[in-house]
Structure 1
Amino acid sequence: MTWKNARDLPPPVPHQVVCPSSLVVNWKRELARFAPGADTVTYLGHDRSLDGITPATIVIITHGVLRRDHATLAARTWDLVVADEAQHVKNPASQTARQLRTVPSAMRLALTGTPVENNLSELWALLDWCCPGLFGTLASFRSHYATAAERDPTGPSAQQLALIAAPLVLRRRKTDPGIRSAPAVVGQGQGCRPPARLPGPGRRPCCRRRLSRIWRAVHGSTEERITVSKKAEAPLAERIRDHGARPACPSAY
């Protein structure tokens, strides 16, 4: 173990949060709640500037600003860079992912609810940004872990990958104790037998009126929904006979 004097440590530098524009206000609110003394700056707008920030400053930027001002952001050294909604950078070839990799930092943290949606290459993109070089190149990761793990999720390659990634991933499940989340998804299927023949011209006005009532039951006022729901006792499959009609715009009928 090597002990270092405080004079040998690098000087403190600011922190950065990269998130979608819809989460900027949420980050400011949460920082004010959990770190009320923190100096928070939103690097947004036409007159945005990094002048005047201190080593204790937390700079909040969006993905769009990162793409436009990547040279300015990469010219500074950051202590911690947090990538919220990190699924936006799980494609290593995307412009956002490439610009984020140019920002130097001592620590990196990726926050996402969907780390893997299509294949394990997306997991490599996130882990390689957080810990560069951990799994080598993408081609090496595919040949050593991903291809075999995608083929057999319970095989030795998948277990070895999970063992290496476990210390780096803090995962929260809905089944964890103390987690308040939405209830489990309940699916309800309803069969619909297509008619033997399409309705003739004489039947179309009737079908359009029924579709209009169904649309009002979904999108109308409370009184309309109550009135229509009392009339809509027959199955929906028996009411919708005109396959060409669309209830999204009843005024077109």
Structure 2
Amino acid sequence: MNKVLLSSILAVSLVAVEAQARLVIIQDDSVIQARKEQAANAAKVQAIKEQEAERQRLLQESEMKIRNATVQFEQTNYQVIADRTEKVIKHFGVPPKQLPALGGAALDSPFWMAMNAIVPTGWKVYLDNAVDAHLPVSWSGQRFNWIAILHQLGVQKRLAFDIDWNQQVVLVRKRSSAIDYLREQHQARNSSQEFLITVDSENSESIPEGGEGVLVINGQPVKVKRTERLGRPKERQEQ
């Protein structure tokens, strides 16, 4: 009897152990499968991220190529006709944020005298040997500070000013650009051109034929020479 009972207990125990083993194996298989699926999903996500990163890299490279693109040409086959790179004023050091109006004015003043009136006390001005110290200049400081006045003189006389705020020094030199040759050509052509100007004057009879003079047109002096006397409009119509 005891033997039969012991055998039954052992049989039941073996069955329970086998069922538990099967359960553990099934659970292990599901965990492994889940881990595989998780790894596969992570790999897909990583692949998508890498593809997006590569796409962004290529896009940035394309944008950089467009941004840094430059035209390639043989400069010897071209001529410069506009140069906006030249500067009238160049600062060394830090200039004040605000400067007061200078005041004063001068008409056809020698350049060296103008500089002594424009540049503040305590400063020195050094002039390049290629610039005439007696160059006549006109300026007004009623509404402008001394830097603005130097800029105006630089534009008028094609000068450049290097302003050193640390040493309180101003260097003056001729301003040059890549289109100076065009300016020279323009001046040469204008100086050699002749114009026919008809002047109606009550005192024209006092001007002999061949007489020379100067007319001011748009603020610019123009040298003129009388070649012949023309009658008044009524007189010409009657003739």
User: For this structure pair, what is the TM-score category when the shorter chain's length is used for normalisation?
Assistant: under 0.3
TM-score normalised by L of structure 1: 0.20
Higher relative contact order, chain-length normalized (CA < 8 Å, sep 6+): 2
Which structure features the higher share of strand residues? 2
TM-score (norm 2): 0.21
* Bigger Rg, which one: 2
